[in-house]
Structure formats: structure tokens, C-alpha cells
Amino acid sequence: MIDLHTHTDRSDGTVSPADLVLQAKTAGIQALAIADHDTLAGYDLAVSLAAKESLELICAVELSTRPDFTANGKRPRSVHILGYFLNGEPAPAFREWLQSQQASRRRRNLDLIAKLEQLGVNLQLEDMQVYGRNQVGRPHFARVLLDKGYVSTLQEAFDRYLADDAEAAVERDEPSLEEGIGRICDGGGLASLAHPVRLPQRDEQSLSGLLERLQGYGLEGIEVYHSEHKPEDSALFHTLAQRFHLIETGGSDFHGAAKPEVRLGSGINGNVCLSYSFLEQIRETYFALN
């Protein structure tokens, strides 16, 4: 069994890199990819222990990117791109670029705190850092808003304050889709479209148009198997992967207690169970193309 999409407390997960390695071993997972958001910190902290535990650890990342502005001028939703570095680790230039993305996150967080204060919500950056050990993001803001009684649920925190169209919305300077895919490719990685079920393009025709465009940027994969995908979703994404000769990837998108319904290695109610041969096929196809 493998899991190619997991998160640690170095981004928006709740499990430390070391604990994730140990949980993976206990679950019988042979290969694990840590794909924290815009950082390799979780992977870096897990490498030594994974080797000691004879767990194959794959260097990965999940980038937040933005498509071009739509014709009506509305800011489109983020699109996430997974990067898999199957040769080991990315080029140093890619790590340097990720550091610049961390700086962008920090600026957005300070602007978000200021905007919340204007709405009568008093938070300090240190409050969120209790949860976001390496980087602070909107999920950590949501947890603090809940802790302090400003909202009654995490979803309310996003709906009222944190979502792109909410009261305290602050735009983050995210890379474009084209740049995100290009950075992964230039860094020596496989770029795969993450959880396509979340995209506004839901029908086959719209998705086909998007994939054709992204292939022009260097996209080589699509996440066919994911905890949020119903069987009919995975079937559609499998069909599109074959049509566009894309590499199929998959994983649980494990976040620990932040998404308690998602189990490491098996997703929701066992809907993501991938064998080691799935990873072997990814590698075989990727190296044949590169």
C-alpha cells in the first residue's frame, strides 16, 4: 500500500513529520509522499526517520496557484498542483523559490490580521503559530477564530471571514498556473493536477479544454484517486488521463485531525487504496517521458 498525498503540521496538517512516518509504518504503507503546501519542511524533517524505518519517502509539494483573471474581472479560485520529485530532491533553485512563496504567505497573514481587527476580531500572529508550526495559513486562522468564540464552526470561519469572497478576504500573491507547473518541471519534478473534483470545470468538455491548456505549460499528471472523488469522478479522470496521455497519481490527502474522516493510506471509507505497483507505473512512465 502507498499514499502519495499527505500533509504534516509543517503546513496545514496536525501530525508531525515523525509521527506521520510512524503512523505510515503501522498502517503497512510501503511508500509515502509528504506534499505539504508550498514547503518541503515536513519532508526534510522526515527523511532520516523514514530511512531508519525502511519507509520509502518521496519528496513532494502541493503548490497553490491562480489561473488568469476571468473576463468579468473576478479573481478565480486557487488551483493546486502537486509536484513529485522522483529522482530524489528538487534543484536548489526550486527550494529558493519556495522560500519566496513563504514570504508572500507571511505578508498576507499580517494583512489578514489587520483586516480582521477592523471587523472587531482581535488576533495575534502568535495565536495561529500555535497550530502552524512552520507556516501559518487560513486553516490555522479558522481554528483560532473557533477557539476564541468568534465563530461556532470552522466552516463558519471561512464563510464569514476567510474565504476569497468573505468579509476579511485578502488576496495572496500566488504564482500563476503556468509558473507553478513550470517551476516544478524546471526543478526536476512531475507536475500533477491535484483533486480535480474541486475545479469549477466539472464536465468532460470543460476539463478537456483545461487539461489541453495545462499540458502546454508542462503538466504531466492528474490526480485520479483522491478521498473526495466518487467512483464516477475517478472513472472520468482516468478516461481523461488516457486521452491526454497523462500520468495517473493518487493519495488520501491526509491531514490528521484537521480532516478526521480521511484515513492515512485508505482515504474515506477505504475509497483510496493504491498498491506499490501504482507507484512503479508512475515511475516507469515518467522516466520514459523524461
- The C-alpha atoms of residue 153 and residue 167 are separated, in whole angstroms, by 16
DSSP letter, residue 281:
H
Whether 278 maps to a domain, the answer reads yes
What pLDDT, on a 0 to 100 scale, did the predictor assign at position 128?
78
Note whether 12 and 38 are within 8 A (CB).
no
Give yes or no for residue 103 having a pLDDT over 50. Answer: yes
Q: What per-residue confidence (pLDDT) applies to 134?
A: 65
- Please determine, for residue 99, whether its predicted confidence score (pLDDT) is greater than 90: no
* pLDDT band for position 75 (cuts 50, 70, 90): low
Q: Residue type for 62, please?
A: E
Is there a domain that residue 33 lies in?
Answer: yes
Average pLDDT over residues 12-26: 95
Q: Is residue 116 part of a domain?
A: no
Per-residue pLDDT tens for 176-205? 999 999 999 999 999 999 999 999 888 899
Domain membership flag for residue 248: yes
Span 129-183, pLDDT tens digits: 777 666 777 888 888 898 889 889 888 988 898 887 788 887 777 899 999 999 9
Q: Give the mean model confidence (pLDDT) for residues 25-37.
A: 97
Q: Select the more confidently predicted residue: 215 or 126.
A: 215
Domain residue limits at 245: 2-66+78-89+176-289
Return the CATH number at 283.
3.20.20.140
Return the percentage of the chain with pLDDT > 90, whole number.
63
Residue 51 pLDDT class (50, 70, 90 cuts) = very high
pLDDT bucket at 70, cuts 50 / 70 / 90: low
Per-residue pLDDT of 250-288, as tens digits, reads 999 999 988 999 999 999 999 999 999 999 999 999 999
The residue-averaged pLDDT of 216-226 equals 97
Mean pLDDT for 61-77 is 74
**How wide is the angle at C-alpha 33 spanned by C-alphas 184 and 256, nearest 5°?**
120
**Mean per-residue pLDDT, 209-221:** 95
- Is there a domain that residue 273 lies in? yes
Residue 69 has pLDDT above 80, yes or no: no
**Whole-number average pLDDT of the chain:** 91
Element (H, E) at 20: helix 17-26
Q: Which cell is 7 given?
A: 500533509
Q: Is residue 129 part of a domain?
A: no
For residues 189 and 84, the answer to whether their CB atoms sit within 8 Å is: yes
The answer to whether position 141 is within a domain reads no
pLDDT of res. 71: 44
Whether 126 is covered by a domain: the verdict is: no
How far is Cα 268 from Cα 219, in angstroms, rounded to an integer?
Answer: 27
pLDDT surpassing 80 at residue 100: yes
Q: Which helix (H) or strand (E) holds 190?
A: strand 190-193
Across the beta sheet with 221-226, the strand order is 2-6, 31-34, 56-65, 79-85, 190-193, 221-226, 247-251
In which residue are the cell numbers 466552516 written?
A: 155
Q: How many domains are there within the chain? A: 1
